[in-house]
């Protein structure tokens, strides 16, 4: 695994930890109003994680994990990230990207880990700062 890929993995784990803490708080508040367990198990964590990631990446191009690991997400053309790019990236990463990895793990990383399939799909690239 390339150095930047290790940093990306650590950054993602940091972001998951933060998102899980926030989701636990949101779930505690919603538990009294929403009785459906599927909402608490599937929808709440996903919505919280995507919302936090969208806001952070849209504003600064970095999540807390990316900042801690010295990474930044940029548009491959050098312009500001759009909301649709970020949403496409998250959706692809959380669904189809897993199958890409299982299909061909050796070709998964491109450009020393700066470009993963969800980055190619959304037109983004991760760089070290």
Q: What burial class does residue 38 get, using C-beta atoms within 10 Å of its C-beta: 0-12 exposed, 13-18 middle, 19+ buried? A: exposed
Query: In the prediction, which pLDDT does 10 show?
Result: 96
| One-character DSSP codes across 78-105 | SSPPPHHHHHHHHHHHTTHHHHHHHH-G
Q: How far is CA 11 from the centre of its chain?
A: 9
Query: In the prediction, which pLDDT does 21 show?
Result: 96
Q: Hey, where are the domains in the chain?
A: 3-128
Query: In the prediction, which pLDDT does 57 show?
Result: 94
Query: Tens-digit pLDDT profile for the chain (129 aa)?
Result: 578 889 999 999 999 999 999 999 999 998 888 888 888 888 899 999 999 999 999 999 999 999 999 999 999 888 889 999 999 999 999 999 888 878 877 777 666 777 888 888 999 999 998
């Amino acid at each position: 695994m390339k150095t930047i890929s290790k940093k990306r993995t650590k950054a993602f784990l940091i972001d998951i930890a933060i998102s899980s803490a926030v989701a636990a708080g949101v779930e505690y508040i919603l538990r009294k109003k929403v009785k459906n367990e599927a909402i608490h198990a599937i929808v709440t964590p996903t919505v919280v994680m995507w919302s936090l990631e969208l806001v952070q990446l849209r504003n600064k191009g970095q999540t807390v994990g990316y900042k801690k690991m010295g990474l930044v997400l940029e548009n491959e053309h050098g312009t500001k990230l759009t909301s649709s790019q970020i949403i496409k990236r998250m959706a692809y990463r959380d669904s189809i990207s897993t199958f890409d990895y299982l299909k061909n793990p050796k070709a998964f990383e491109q450009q020393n880990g700066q470009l993963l399939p969800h980055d190619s799909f959304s037109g983004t690239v991760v760089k070290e700062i």
